[in-house]
């Protein structure tokens, strides 16, 4: 099911689709919540979504770090949205857990930081629904580096194994 980049929409998941509780670790929460808020803002045009991202980042890291990181987050999310050949799912604002696509976004950034190339490429392809991952990969690498510079290192355990990401992609294609 291929959608053009211009009509790729955000789908809110139902309660039963939640798969991972909101992590207590700040780096994972920043990526997951930031991804959710920024994608919702791009899809709805509602400035409150971006304000939620700003409040999360600036509350955890201070306004100077938040500015830098949100710029890189924006580039990553815009690349995901522009490259996606399917609808990207996000949980509603304030949800206390992450859905599969939010977990894939976290996995992508963690894989960048831990140089897990196979898991990285599989997670990006699973998230956007295509093997054409270049722009999304570049955005992810920039965000991962900016997070590292701000001393926000995601856990290696946050990397989704390549086989897991590939199974998620196959389920979507059926």
pLDDT of residue 74: 98
Query: Number of folded domains in the chain?
Result: 1
Q: What is the pLDDT of residue 161?
A: 77
Q: Coil, strand or helix: which one is 153?
A: coil
Q: Is residue 19 part of a domain?
A: no
Compute the Cα dihedral for 42, 47, 33, 97 and give only its sign: negative
The whole-model pTM stands at: 0.83
pLDDT score, position 170:
53
Angle between helices 117-128 and 100-113 (to 10 degrees): 150
- Is pLDDT above 70 for 1? no
pLDDT of 15 over the 50 cut: no
């Amino acid at each position: 099911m291929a959608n053009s980049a211009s009509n790729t929409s955000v789908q809110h998941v139902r309660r039963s689709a939640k798969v991972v509780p909101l992590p207590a670790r700040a780096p994972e929460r920043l990526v997951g919540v930031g991804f959710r808020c920024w994608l919702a803002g791009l899809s709805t045009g509602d400035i409150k979504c971006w304000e939620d991202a700003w409040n999360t980042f600036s509350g955890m890291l201070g306004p100077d770090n938040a500015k830098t990181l949100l710029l890189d987050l924006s580039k990553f999310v815009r690349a995901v949205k522009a490259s996606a050949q399917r609808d990207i799912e996000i949980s509603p604002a304030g949800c206390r857990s992450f859905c599969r696509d939010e977990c894939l976004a976290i996995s992508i950034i963690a894989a960048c930081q831990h140089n897990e190339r196979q898991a990285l490429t599989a997670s990006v392809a699973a998230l956007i629904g295509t093997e054409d991952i270049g722009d999304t990969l570049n955005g992810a690498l920039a965000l991962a580096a900016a997070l590292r510079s701000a001393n926000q290192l995601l856990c290696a355990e946050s990397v989704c194994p390549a086989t897991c990401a590939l199974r998620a992609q196959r389920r979507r294609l059926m």
